[in-house]
Structure 1
Amino acid sequence: MEVTPLINYINRIVTLTPEEEIILSEYVVYRQYLKDQYILQQGDVCKHANFIVKGCAKTFHADNNGQEHIIMFSVEDWWASDMGSFITQTPADYNVQCIENTELIQFNHETIEELYAKIPKLERCFRQITERALVSSLKRIVRNFSKTAKERYIIFKENYPEIEQRIPQYMLASYLGISKEFLSKIKSQLAKETKS
């Protein structure tokens, strides 16, 4: 099983010994999903933390009218899970669905404490990952309250230039909280500004 991308990612936060790398590889599962397949469905309990090796996924909430509210896109070296559901083992508020064929490395909730006991520094690693995710979510909430749709789009474009090329426009519009028609307007406005 190919766990090198995960090990490289973890080693940027904490340093694993070769022995710890072997232990880690025994606790994770490698999975492949097809485009449009669900990794997690709203209402199910999230049993895995999913690290993306290859591909792209969206995390979204579907309201009672079936409207999608996308909160996150995940690509290589990112996580794609409902962390609230994973931590509390209660029904998920979010769906996680593949936008492309996707390869993942999964941590099982049932064995993660065992893994922490064997490699204590992993607990510190995951705490830092969770803290970063929390900071990022809080910043996004503030942006949604205080920035215009145009400003939010510019920030997305600057922070995630590679993601925009990989997702349909209607999904980006959902993430920004606007209609795809309004997103088109913003893009043509920016194109005109760039030319002038």
Structure 2
Amino acid sequence: MRILRAADYRVMPWKNGGGTTTEIAVSPDGAGLDAFDWRVSMARVEGSGPFSSFAGIDRTLSVLEGEGIVLDVAGRPAARLTPASQPFAFPADLPTSATLIAGPITDLNVMTRRGRTAHSLERMTISRPMDIATEAGSTLILCHKGEAALTGAGSIRLGPLDTLLLGPDAPVLRVEPARDTTLFVVQITTAA
């Protein structure tokens, strides 16, 4: 179990050089863009344009801040993503471009190497205590808005954009929000 504080995340250029991304976690630790099994990051998107292509990668995107974007995947309008919409999954090796709806956005990206790992991404808004069960692989809990205390393996407090990274033997966690809190829960498993 590791607590990843927002102030410690690594900022690096996009693969296509069009902006920057804030890496929350990557496996294996320190892996580059062509060698990761999985990667979770946030990106600030300042303008419309093409996405970087990642061969053999599955990707899920969710809008954290801003009005949103419209994605075009493989030449077809695929999704209109806003802070209220569900996360959108697509192959990261298909030609993809985005059109901003009304100004810059910040998005959350989860990427896994096809054939090695798989993932799910869920947004949760909670206002009362609840339990989160972990999967057999890695679980990341990102506190997007608000604050949350997590108990089950000690007591941990997450502030905005802090993340808790749990391994496969993690217990069920009890989440107690300080006020209305939005969490993103990423489950990463080894591909069958």
Which has a greater percent of helix?
Answer: 1
* Larger Rg computed on CA atoms: 1
Q: TM over 0.5: same fold? A: no
What TM-score do you get using the length of structure 2 for normalisation? 0.34
Which has a greater percent of strand?
Answer: 2
